[in-house]
Amino acid sequence: MITAPDVIDNCHYVCYDPPMPKSPVVRPEPRQLELYTCAYAFLGRCARVDGVPVRTSQGRPRIVDASLPVCRGIMPSTHMLRLWKSMTPAEWDEKYIEVLERKHDQIVEELTDLSVEYGGRPLVLCCFEKDPDECHRKLFAQWWQTRYGVQVRELTE
C-alpha cells in the first residue's frame, strides 16, 4: 500500500509505505503532537523536521507524485471558500475558528491517527497559499496554541 510521501529533492516527493512501529504505539495526547505548517510550494522544507506533509486543502497539488495523507477537519469546506468572497477577512477568520471548534474531536482524531500511522513523526499541515498570514493554516496554528498551549510553527526559509 502506497500512502506516505518522502523527500527526494527540494520539492519532489515519492510515496512509500509508513514504517511499521517496532513496539506498540501509544496514542499521543494532542499537546504531544509535533505540528508545523507549510505551503505546497515549499514542501522541501518538511525534510528539515523529518515531517510528513499533510494535505489541508480542497485541491491536490500537482507537484506531488501521489496523494498526501489528508486532515479533512482542518480543510475549509467549499461553502467556507465561497464565503471568503462575501465576508471581511475578520468575519471569515471568526467563522473558520467556529468550524474548528465544532470539528475539534474530528481534528484531534485525524491528527492522532496520522501521528500513529507515521511512527510519531512531525506532521506538516500544507495548503496552496504561500503567505501564511493569508491562509487558514495560520488560523489553525493560533487555535491549536490557544487550545493546547503548543506552538505550531510555519516552516519558513
**pLDDT single digits (tens) 57-111:** 988 887 765 678 999 999 998 888 888 888 898 999 999 999 999 999 999 999 9
pTM of the full predicted structure?
A: 0.81
| 12 pLDDT above the threshold of 70 | no
Backbone phi and psi for residue 56, each to the nearest 5 degrees, phi listed first: -125, 25
Strands 123-127 and 52-55: parallel
From 58, 8, 36, select the one nearest 155 (Cα to Cα): 36
| pLDDT, tens digit (0-9, with 9 covering 90-100), for 133-151 | 888 999 999 999 999 999 9
Pull the grid cell for residue 74: 482542518
The answer to whether 56 touches 71, Cβ cutoff 8 Å, is: yes
Among the listed residues 102, 105, 89, 83, the one whose alpha carbon sits nearest the alpha carbon of residue 139: 89
Please tell me the predicted confidence (pLDDT) of residue 21: 52
Separation between Cα atoms, residue 107 and residue 56, nearest integer Å: 11
**130 vs 18: which has the higher pLDDT:** 130
Strand order in the sheet with 153-154: 52-55, 123-127, 35-39, 153-154
User: Alpha carbon of 106 to those of 4, 21, 53, 73: distances in Å?
Assistant: 21, 24, 19, 6
Q: Is pLDDT above 90 for 1?
A: no
Integer Cα distance of 71 and 32 in angstroms: 17
